Amino acid sequence: MTLKRTVRFEPLGITIECEATEPILHYALRQGLRLVDTRCAEGDCGGCKAMVHSGQIHRVEQPRPILSAAEQAQGHVLLCRTHVKSDLVVELLPGSLLTPSQRPDPFDRHHAAEKLLGPFIVAAADHLSDGLLVLDDQGRLLVLNRAAAHLLHGDPSQEITAVCRTILESALPQTYQITCAPNGRVLAAIGFPVMKGHHAVASALLFP
């Protein structure tokens, strides 16, 4: 069993749990947090720059030199290229912070997902090798599992939101071609409605 560590984001006082298997940013996105200005989630833009105040980390090599050696020595990191090795306290820098109104409550999303889909499905989603994304009938993100977060680099795009509306309207499983920003890769996805009785209450995309 992989040991979980905590990461506390300051100055917000928000804490999440992470494992060492993935970058901190990926865990934050999956838990419903939009704490930093993320544009690529792959180390190319510097939008998730932060500073580690305490704890041990593992850095993944940057694809290009966003952070200088001096910045790294001072504790600056890119959250998309940083893995936990212990509990951490991380400062989100002013240039990367979003306003409170832009940060959804991770508990509300999780609670809504469990209420609509059931706790077993929500708990099992991260163990799927296929990507799974679920939006409710209001277009709100309920589930974004580990594989889908890696493929889609965080939150669903406008194209995905539009596809999910189509799924709700048709209430039939169909195959879709999804363009993945920012690299333009086209992904095949199976879209299907989540039904309660005779009504579609959510739409799901499975990326095999």
Show the tokens assigned to 147: 């594989």
Do 144 and 82 belong to one domain?
A: no
Do 130 and 192 belong to one domain?
A: yes
The closest alpha carbon to 57, from 29, 37, 73, 77, belongs to 77
Do 57 and 114 belong to one domain?
A: no
For residue 21, give its domain range.
5-101
Do 54 and 123 belong to one domain?
A: no
User: Residue 82 and residue 99: Cα distance in Å, rounded?
Assistant: 23
Do 66 and 109 belong to one domain?
A: no
Look at residue 54 in the predicted model and tell me its pLDDT.
Answer: 93
Do 135 and 175 belong to one domain?
A: yes
Sign of the alpha-carbon torsion through 159, 145, 60, 88: positive
Show the tokens assigned to 55: 């704890």
CB 142 within 8 A of CB 207: no
Residue after which a domain boundary falls, among 74, 101, 128:
101
Residue after which a domain boundary falls, among 72, 101, 130:
101
Do 123 and 198 belong to one domain?
A: yes
Residue after which a domain boundary falls, among 101, 136, 167:
101
Helix extents (H) in the chain: 24-30, 69-73, 106-117, 119-125, 146-152, 158-170
CATH (domain of 111): 3.30.450.20
Look at residue 101 in the predicted model and tell me its pLDDT.
Answer: 47
User: Residue 174 and residue 188: Cα distance in Å, rounded?
Assistant: 11
Q: Could you list the pLDDT tens digit for every one of the 208 residues in the chain? A: 567 899 998 887 888 888 888 888 888 877 767 666 666 667 667 778 889 999 999 988 877 777 888 888 888 998 888 999 999 999 988 777 655 545 555 546 777 788 888 888 888 887 888 989 999 888 888 888 888 877 776 666 778 888 998 998 888 889 999 887 556 778 899 999 998 888 888 999 999 8
Kindly report, residue by residue over 33-46, the tens digit of the pLDDT.
766 666 666 766 77
Do 48 and 80 belong to one domain?
A: yes
Reduce the DSSP state of residue 100 to 3 states and report it: helix
Q: What is the DSSP letter of 94?
A: T
Do 187 and 136 belong to one domain?
A: yes
> Structural domain tally of the chain?
2
Do 116 and 81 belong to one domain?
A: no
CATH (domain of 52): 3.10.20.30
Kindly report, residue by residue over 103-136, the tens digit of the pLDDT.
555 546 777 788 888 888 888 887 888 989 999 8
Do 175 and 128 belong to one domain?
A: yes
- Backbone phi, psi, residue 54, to 5°: -155, 150
Indicate the pTM of the whole model. Answer: 0.54
